[in-house]
Amino acid sequence: MPGYEGAKAAVVGATGFIGRWVVRKLVEQGAHVCRIGREDAGNLETVYRRLRPSITFNLGGYGIDPAERDETAAYHVNAVLPRMLAEAVAATRDPAWPGQHFVQAGSAVEYGDAGGNLREDGPARPATLYAKSKWRGTQAVAERSQALGFRAITARLFTVYGPGEHAGRLLPSLFEARRTHQALDLSSGMQRRDFTYVEDVAEGLLKLGSISQQDYMTVNLATGRLTSVRMFVEIAAGILGIPPENLNFGGIPASVHEMEHEGVALDRLKRLTGWIPPTTIAEGVRKTLETSLLKEAEP
């Protein structure tokens, strides 16, 4: 993955689930990483004039956790902050850097109930607070990129899983069931999702950041394989040693805003990078288990 050795890369949300993996990949590639924190939000242009990063990855987000329901916070983090970052990037961009100046992490929920085969140039019908505020952020980055003339990409992420995932989500709940040997209440599991391993997502973000695409673009970053939640759970349970009788499918209702669609278009991702995320669900769960066992063995 050429281009990152010696480059200065700013990462917003560097301590989050995906952000930590992006930092790790950047360091492996020889980049100098600048972590942009919440304390910098009120003075971004000054911070950027001091740091002058070649590329910025925005992994900040608010609203994935069910407890995060403050509307003002959601629009500030998911919509206002991307616009502010875009303006700071535009004012300080490195003319010698051949890749993208700004990589924004979007979300599949921006498609909402669009249905069908989800294409980046298709409709967006966000239904939740998180989805609406993320869609506003995507629009802000697109508008600022086109108006101010810097290179930017929004990568729409789907169902990301793996080491470091927040407690209460699907895979961490299965790990907790493994630890406690207690039954786990689940939805019926009939809903289908594109499960993408977090390390693949980080690698995909770096690949997109390294390309010289001039015009703003939104790109689906996913595997292109839809798997039912029930199948994901059964694969993971088999690897984790959770007995089938401890999986209470139908024990909780499905979300009223559950997305239903036929597939995820990856034409742009393949054309721009020549790559799609390769890790299977079984491989991803095994890697997550290996990481968990290593942590358990630490003194």
The Cα 118–Cα 196 span in angstroms is 16
Q: Give the helix/strand (H/E) hosting 12.
A: strand 8-12
**Cβ(218)–Cβ(153) below 8 Å:** yes
- Give residue 299's pLDDT band: very low, low, confident or very high (50, 70, 90): confident
Q: What is the chain's mean pLDDT, rounded?
A: 95
CA dihedral 108, 113, 114, 120 (to 10 degrees): -10
pLDDT at 2: 57
Q: Retrieve residue 116's tokens.
A: 């069908």
State the pairing for strand pair 152-157/217-221: parallel
**Cβ(44)–Cβ(34) below 8 Å:** no
> Which pLDDT tens digit goes with each residue over 66-113?
789 999 999 999 999 999 999 999 999 999 999 999 999 999 999 999
Place of tokens 């009120």: 42
The Cα 221–Cα 157 span in angstroms is 5
**Residue with more model confidence, 258 or 35:** 35
The Cα 149–Cα 92 span in angstroms is 12
> Which pLDDT tens digit goes with each residue over 218-236?
999 999 999 999 999 999 9
- Give residue 164's pLDDT band: very low, low, confident or very high (50, 70, 90): very high
Q: Helix 170-180 vs helix 281-297: angle between axes, to the nearest 10 degrees?
A: 50
pLDDT at 162 over 90: yes
**Residue with more model confidence, 144 or 39:** 144
* Whole-Å CA distances, 279 to 65, 132, 264, 289: 25, 30, 17, 14
Q: Retrieve residue 92's tokens.
A: 């300080």
The Cα 67–Cα 128 span in angstroms is 14
The Cα 45–Cα 63 span in angstroms is 26
Q: What is the CATH number of domain 8-160+197-221+257-277?
A: 3.40.50.720
pLDDT at 156 over 90: yes
Backbone angles phi, psi at 188, to 5 degrees: -65, -25
pLDDT at 245 over 70: yes
Q: Where are the domains of the chain?
A: 8-160+197-221+257-277
The Cα 103–Cα 124 span in angstroms is 20
> Which pLDDT tens digit goes with each residue over 33-64?
999 988 888 899 999 999 999 999 999 999 98
- Give residue 172's pLDDT band: very low, low, confident or very high (50, 70, 90): very high
- Give residue 258's pLDDT band: very low, low, confident or very high (50, 70, 90): confident
- DSSP assignment letter at 197: E
> Which pLDDT tens digit goes with each residue over 178-188?
999 999 999 99
pLDDT at 1 over 60: no
User: Could you tell me the pTM of the whole model?
Assistant: 0.96
Share of the chain above pLDDT 70, in %: 99
pLDDT at 133: 98
